[in-house]
Structure 1
């Protein structure tokens, strides 16, 4: 074939390869970012078959075949006759990959990293590594161009990791400076009351409930949404905390021992709330014992005259309550937890038309207080008891607490009721996923009156050795509660299917559909008036939007920035406060 044609093919390949390489760099930067640039979390990511399939798929096999053919052509001169057909095949491969990408964009199945300084470093370094290799090959011997391009594409996950490795020392220096700056600023604020909250589940809801109640009397600052790393807490202190605030409420998360201790050393809490301990992120902690030790670091960080608040609904946390020698309180959503323990518990719970009515007993007092809330679910009753316990400890009356409760609404994507298609009801519980939350959501669904109960579920991650057992239990509960279920990932689907069918679901109603547009289309075909659709775990937002009726409007969405809302109380109310 004419050399000019070969040159044209190679240039076309190079152009399409650049676009494909950019797509790969963006995707793997996104994955590293959501795993917080941590090797342990990235390793756990590949525990799931769906995650491994991002590499080990048909694209991988085609890349491998093209790479082998390119190597054969270079090493054995007699195979130069395959240059042009191989070039055409490689060009077609990259064209098909880009067409597939554009189709994913159309279906809203693509993901992009948030542009932060760390993400920008990873993107730039990864791009330079890709282009540097190509430039070196062209400088050395362009005979190896096809081999180089296909090899780089084949090794894209590894080459993108170089960007993470290179940016890590810089990120660590920046992190150290931010943490130290936050620690120094916090130490200067002697009169500030800090409340720390941690646990395997319930952290964010409990935090938001505490903030809603305390804001009736105090000016309160809190960490935003579920941002709970040491960096998130430190940045909130540096950027937002000032002497006008009475209380700082900090959510504290961790994936291994020592992280909560670091966060607590920065925030220096006086009150610590332990919401629950379970198997979430077990593959990262390594064992339940390590999880327990990591969460208890918050209690260990409290001063001797601080206050430790424990959730009595969780057996592990309740045992820690009895072991704790610091001032302590125990809260619970039922009346059968230790009645002699100081704290707040729900004496009785009644589900009413638009929420829940709770009779609350404080310690051993004879009188109960009646409160009502729009919140659904026993787990929210438990979280609310924790918030009331803290509010009482800082001197708030039950009248103030009732006023604060009126302002509590479902946190976005946590059992949030929304208008669905065909006059159905959508329960959006797609905020995050853990075993406790899944069973709590299914309990709520079980109590609700509806024609069909449909669940859309993304299997849980980072459960380590108990993952199969956990999904067996979830599948059984789905079979008991739901009339239909769509699982949006192949992960653990055979286990979920077997258990759901075994426990009452018709085999044709337990489906695995991984493409968001197909999920929406299937639901549209089956949903009827008075059906209830539960969205559980991190469901693709395009599915949620596709199932909602237009009358939800913008009013269903709350401002993402809660800090200004939590700081609206006038300073004149300060004179009534009593701080622990």
Structure 2
């Protein structure tokens, strides 16, 4: 009897441990099985922490008793310890949202039912103990689908009640979060404007934002639309039906999902499918889709139209923009040459909504940089450039250019470019080599490429970011500039 109880506990421990691994990986990849399994950046984890343990677990039931029982207990203990160690080393741990809590509640209900049924029928549960995990995943997904449909209905009802609400939607490969925030800060000079928080840019995220955060007094809603596959932005466009669309710069970001730049372009231009579209601002150097409906094409304004006298230094940015027949000067503490483009479309949007030019100029002067996107911090006699949320080649090279203006030793901390091409990382490595004295490469994803093409700078490879703080303490000194260029969780 005692062995029976121990055996049952071992089976529960194994299933719950496997459920934790599964939930963590699914949450990283937005609950997409396809992405979590086939597009995982560390696929070998699935071999070590899922396939091998599952195979061994399966094998224990074909051994004679009590040998199989002893091995099952040992396997469960070793597996639980391995997953705990793996989990504690993660820098992006499982967020126990209501969805995750529901998943585990459903799992425990099915596990209890399964054990009770086997007990009353007088049979060994054996491999049947894995069935509750499968049921939990299926039932959880079905429940979340029903819940999402209900939330979508509520969000649609709320938007219908806000009949005077104007909606702006922003997409692009690069800079969409910055553009969204710049538009919000400019429009607040005249309107009650609200933008999706942080980097919320998925269909489900926007639905939740509308239900929970938009006030009924809001006059303008600015949403950000992201995509991992064709149809993602179309879904958002048909849900929001924005009056104004912004398509920022399009590039090879997430090329591993889209396979070809033409697919990225087509997906971004899905935003123009809105039935209420009045005007669309599109970055002028973007590649164009094969076909744009004539009725839509006439609503497009390409940006920036005319800009001159651009000054982009570590002290700030200034430029002149041609608006309605006149040149106007703008100054801002936002860093980066590329932000002139991002600011220009926000300025055009402000003018489109009738905000006075002097009010726009004042707003631009007061605009605060988006957190972790070229934020300058001076502390402990060092200059820190926090560009950890900027993950595209153009933006990262601009941060490197700005760093080159600094008179002193320069250190860069970077994992390279995630979800891009080998050529882009080689170009990044060469730019790093021309400017920095020390290059700290975090993670294994691009370590080989960067290490191969960085020759002048001292190279330091960190497999885990847990070592970063101690490394910076040992290799930096007062007067240094430290650039944090892009960031990637250790599952990437």
The TM-score, its normalising length taken from structure 2, stands at 0.85
Which runs of 5 or more structure 2 residues have no equivalent in the other structure?
Answer: none
- Structure 1 counterpart of 2:309: 348
Q: Structure 1 residues 73 and 257 mapped into 2: Cα distance closer, same or farther (>3 Å)?
A: closer
Aligned to 1:556: none
* Contact 1:233/1:250, CA 8 A, preserved across alignment: yes
Instruction: Tell me the alpha carbon deviations over residues 80-115 of structure 1, each in whole angstroms, 9 at most, x when there is no partner.
Output: 6x56974785476257437736xx64x674612241
Give the alignment of 1:496-535 within 5 angstroms. 496-501=450-455, 504-505=456-457, 509-535=458-484
1:452 aligned partner: 410
Moved more, 246-255 or 201-210: 246-255
Q: Which moved more, 1:397-406 or 1:486-495?
A: 486-495
1:31 corresponds to:
25
Residues 270/493 of structure 1: CA separation in 2 closer, same or farther (3 Å cut)? same
Hey, what's the Cα distance between the residues in 2 that align with 1:238 and 1:60? Answer: 37
Compared CA separation, residues 87 and 21, structure 1 to 2 (3 A)? closer
CA distance in 2, matches of 1:91, 1:176: 39
> Hey, what's the Cα distance between the residues in 2 that align with 1:451 and 1:322?
53
Contact 1:356 1:375 in 2 (8 A): yes
- Other-structure match for 2:95: 113
Q: Does 1:53 align with 2:24?
A: no
* 1:222 counterpart residue number: 195
Q: Show the 5 A alignment for 1:145-184.
A: 163-184=136-157
1:100 to 85, 88, 103: 85
Q: 1:447 to 1:301 in 2, by over 3 A?
A: farther
Q: What residue in structure 2 maps to residue 479 of structure 1?
A: 433
Equivalent-residue separation in structure 1 for 2:134 and 2:444 (angstroms): 26
Report the equivalent of 1:330.
302
Q: CA contact under 8 A between 1:16 and 1:95: conserved in structure 2?
A: no
Equivalenced residue count is 488
The SS at the match of 1:538 is coil
Q: Which moved more, 1:395-404 or 1:159-168?
A: 159-168
Contact 1:199–1:276 (8 Å) recurs in 2? yes
TM-superposed CA distance for 1:409, in Å, is 1.3
- Contact 1:415/1:427 (<8 A) preserved: yes
Aligned to 2:264, the other structure's residue is in SS state helix
CA distance in 2, matches of 1:477, 1:322: 41
Match of 1:494 among 419, 436, 448: 448
Partner of 2:361: 402
- Match 1:316 to one of 284, 287, 291: 287
Shift of 1:322: 12
**TM-score, with length taken from structure 1:** 0.73
| Structure 1 or 2: more helix by fraction | 1
Query: How much has 1:392 moved relative to structure 2?
Result: 1.2
Q: Counterparts of 1:332-481 in structure 2 under 5 Å?
A: 332=304, 343=305, 345-352=306-313, 354-362=315-323, 365=325, 367-419=326-378, 423-431=381-389, 433-457=391-415, 459-461=417-419, 463=420, 467-481=421-435
Deviation, structure 1 residue 222: 1.8
Q: Within 2, Cα distance between the matches of 1:174 and 1:327? A: 37
Aligned partners of 2:276 and 2:80: how far apart in 1? 63
Shift of 1:430: 2.4
In structure 1, stretches of 5+ residues that fail to align are: 153-157, 333-342, 542-580
Check 1:17–1:67 CA distance in 2 against 1; reply closer, same or farther (3 A cut): closer
Q: Which moved more, 1:242-251 or 1:291-300?
A: 242-251
Q: Does 1:73 align with 2:31?
A: no
> Does the aligned pair in 2 maintain the 1:458–1:489 contact within 8 Å?
no
Counterparts in 2 of 1:292 and 1:43: CA distance versus 1, 3 Å: farther
Q: Is the 8 A contact 2:429 2:453 kept in 1?
A: yes
3-state SS in 1 of match to 2:47: coil
Distance 1:431 1:539 in 2: 9
Compute the displacement of 1:195 (Å): 1.3
Q: Where does residue 537 of structure 1 map in the other structure? A: 486
